[in-house]
Amino acid sequence: MTILGDMLFGGESQDVLVDGNAVGFGTGWSMVTTPKRTGVGAVACVVNGSQAQCPVGLLFNTAYISQWHIAVVQSGEPSAAYALTYPGAAQGAGVPGLEVGTDSKVRIVKATQDAGVWATREGLSDWSATALAEDSSTIKVVSLFLDPLTLGSSHVWAWLFIDGNLEWSGDVGTLVTGSSYPLRASGNAAITVYLDDVARDFSTSSGDAPHLVDWPDPEIHRQLAIGETTADSWWKDAAKNNAEYTEWDDAAGNDGDATYNWQDASAGTNKYQRSDGQTEATVGIDTHTVIQSYQIGELNTAPVINIVHRNASGTKFGGMVAHSLGPDRGIATPGASYTGAAALLNRSSGSWSISDLTTIEFGCGIPTGAEHDMAWRVSMCMLQWLTYVDVYNHEDFTTPSLPGGVETTPAGGPVFMGLGAGIL
């Protein structure tokens, strides 16, 4: 099985600047501690027709089988239909999305104009039998599976699940590659919608079709540094007189202050502050499996490191994030105000596992030649992991069928079947 993850956000940072792969939420977004499905937070948005899209899209690609996964809470009954996910203005016609109706039921739609105009959307499925709750606390987990491989060209098979129950399945026809954005601006539903554990999984192998193999039910958790203020696990450089940061206390996530400061301004090799992280038992995911992310050469990327940082001068050096199981990764040069950054971390060899949380050290640093920049500050540094413990059982999925009811159960590559004069 080669199912990978490629995006996540879930309010784990409790900071609007940075969360998972998403950096900087649009107008109307906020982080909240409840309601949440897992972890420590979620995101909230007042659905009033003017909210901005989340900057990270849930990509649909015609070469991939994919799952969109969103845990949803509604504060009340929608006064108008709204987009749970929908393409942005830069996306082309034919990109899929999800609509919530005034009865809080869900269906699959697609954009019919290049500008992603909500009013011109086309429904591709029946409405779900199950409705989203309308009580500000009950979480409903919506998962949309899209398979453009099994039935060949011009056929995308879709399955819609709510709380693990199959609501609808069928051939939704031709779709195109593009991104749908959580809570894309649409109608004024006059409610607040809370999202948690938003993620996408995908596979390029038709043998991984969800009616053939179990797919993960994603969860998002955070891991904090536990060096605290005693500095007992900081990485030190003897050549720099064992230079360290003056403080380390990330227990509450972003504390909004210049917590981590250099003590030493000497030039030389790279300097970091790396701390032990919480263990898998501390985080509460010791029984989970890591969803591997993009494979880059021989490196495997899974956890995301999130930081909020600044450079008081606004004109000097960027920094880097460091961890003990792989190479460092550069981060953008910060300005004079605190800003957020998130980056996938590479593992030098092998695949990430939950046991890595027992030994990993992580933190931030300044690259060679930048040590004199005493204005560089970091106020939050944490890891996020996309994991799972439960799965979507492949036996709960219907088998895709071509027009005319010809069923297929591919064991390997894509199945192409000729009907009439055409080859599909």
Give the DSSP letter of residue 382: E
Of the listed ranges 51-65, 220-234, 252-266, the least confidently predicted one is 252-266
Q: Which CATH architecture has domain 4-213?
A: Sandwich (2.60)
pLDDT at 203: 94
Residue 168 main-chain phi, psi, to 5 deg: -165, 145
CA distances from 383 to 92, 253, 305 (A): 34, 11, 4
> Torsion angle of alpha carbons 212, 213, 218, 221, nearest 10°?
-170
Q: What percent of the chain has pLDDT over 70?
A: 76
Cis peptide before 400 (omega within 30 of 0): no
Q: Rounded distance, CA 80 to CA 72, Å?
A: 17
In the numeric block, the tokens 């933190």 are attached to: 363
Q: Which CATH architecture has domain 223-390?
A: Sandwich (2.60)
- What pTM value is reported for the model? 0.88
Task: For residues 393-411, give the mean pLDDT.
Answer: 75
In the numeric block, the tokens 């029946």 are attached to: 126
Give the DSSP letter of residue 245: B
Identity (one letter) of the amino acid at 385? W
Q: Rounded distance, CA 247 to CA 262, Å?
A: 10
Domain with CATH 2.60.120 in the chain: 4-213, 223-390
Percent of the chain as helix, strand, coil, to the nearest 5:
5, 40, 55
Task: For residues 195-205, give the mean pLDDT.
Answer: 93
Cβ(10)–Cβ(33) below 8 Å: no
* Closest-CA residue to 323 (of 374, 384, 371, 372): 384
Would you say residue 108 has pLDDT above 70?
yes
The backbone region for 24, taken as left when phi is positive above 0, alpha when psi lies in -120 to 50, beta otherwise, is left
Identity (one letter) of the amino acid at 362? F
What is the tens place of the pLDDT at every residue in 49-83? 766 666 677 889 999 999 999 999 999 999 999 99
More confident residue, 32 or 397: 397
Q: Rounded distance, CA 96 to CA 145, Å?
A: 11
Sheet holding 320-323, edge to edge: 271-276, 361-366, 320-323, 329-330
What is the tens place of the pLDDT at every residue in 362-371? 887 766 555 5
pLDDT at 355: 94
Pairing mode, strands 65-74 and 188-203: antiparallel
* Closest-CA residue to 35 (of 186, 124, 137): 137
Return the H-helix or E-strand segment holding 317.
none
Burial class (CB in 10 A: 0-12, 13-18, 19+), 59: middle
Give the DSSP letter of residue 394: G
